[in-house]
Amino acid sequence: MTVPGITAPPAVQARLLDLQRIDDELVRVAQHRRRLEQAGDITAAEGQRSALRRTAADRRGELEDLRVRIGRVESDVTTVEQRLARDHQRLASTSSPKDAHGLEQEIASLRRRREALEDDELLLMEQVETVEAAAAEVGTALAAVDERIAALRTDRDDALAGLVEQRADAEARRAALVAELPADLVELYDRQRTRYGVGAARLVGAVSEGSNMALTGADLAAVRSAPADAIVLDPESNCILVRVDRA
């Protein structure tokens, strides 16, 4: 429980608590930075944008298909009108009742065909208007998502910049504090913190703040009987116990 070969006055040991607070701050900064870099809200927004882009591509494909179909109908209408014009000319110039009757029937059939084609064209144009409106809605939604992503990235970058400054400040304070502490004590603290997660913690009464557990009677007696400048380890968390009543 007592570390052989290393001693430090109680006031010096107490400064390990300041070092632990700085290290805890650095851990929080690192965790916050990882959360920001993972950026779940940005990832979600980018997923939404990808879905909207696929939808926009689908709407463009639908519009292209409809316009091709309209072009075909318009071409068919032109062909029918050309045939109608030709048949009208032939009807006007024929003297044969039989030929005239045949031409009149063909003209009636062509007119019905033209009406059907015009109805088809009107229906297709209505579909174009519907798809264009849907495409416009997708475009508006996409622009909004782009704006949101840009804002989220700006907020993230600003927050990351703040964390960089906070980390630099904490590291500078840590370096200054470490320079004032015995090297062997800092080495022990760093080793325990790396291995067990906590380098130093207060012993308040019988409770170790490193483990948040009360020491057994035997352990507590051993700690209390140790010299004030002895370095004592918590039997549960293995961190350096700072006896605040001695500091």
Q: Is the pLDDT of residue 199 over 90?
A: yes
Residue 230 main-chain phi, psi, to 5 deg: -75, 150
14-26 pLDDT, tens digit each: 999 999 999 999 9
Extract the tokens encoding 156.
């993230």
Extract the tokens encoding 10.
């109680």
Q: Is the pLDDT of residue 203 over 90?
A: yes
pLDDT band at 246 (very low <50, low <70, confident <90, very high): low
Q: What is the mean pLDDT of residues 170-178?
A: 98
Q: What is the mean pLDDT of residues 24-50?
A: 93
- Using DSSP's 3-state secondary structure scheme, residue 2 falls into strand
Q: What is the mean pLDDT of residues 219-235?
A: 93
Does the pTM surpass 0.95? The reply is no
pLDDT band at 40 (very low <50, low <70, confident <90, very high): confident
Q: What is the mean pLDDT of residues 154-175?
A: 96
Instruction: Calculate the alpha carbon distances from 130 to 68, 136, 144 in Å.
Output: 16, 10, 21
Angle formed by the axes of helices 10-38 and 183-196, to 10°? 40
Residue 62 main-chain phi, psi, to 5 deg: -65, -40
The total of other beta-carbon atoms located within 10 Å of residue 124's CB is: 19
Q: Is the pLDDT of residue 171 over 70?
A: yes
pLDDT band at 7 (very low <50, low <70, confident <90, very high): very high
Query: What share of the chain in percent tops pLDDT 70?
Result: 99
End-to-end CA distance of the chain: 19
89-138 pLDDT, tens digit each: 988 888 888 888 888 899 899 999 999 999 999 999 999 999 999 999 99
Q: What is the mean pLDDT of residues 70-86?
A: 94
pLDDT reported for residue 18: 97
Q: Which residues contact 76 (CB under 8 A, 6 or more apart)?
A: 117
Average pLDDT in the chain: 94
In the chain, the domains with their CATH numbers are 2-31+182-243 (no CATH), 39-165 (1.10.287.1490)
Rounded to 5°, the CA angle 160-35-20 comes to 80
Query: What share of the chain in percent tops pLDDT 90?
Result: 87
Strand partners, 208: 203, 213
Extract the tokens encoding 87.
């048949």
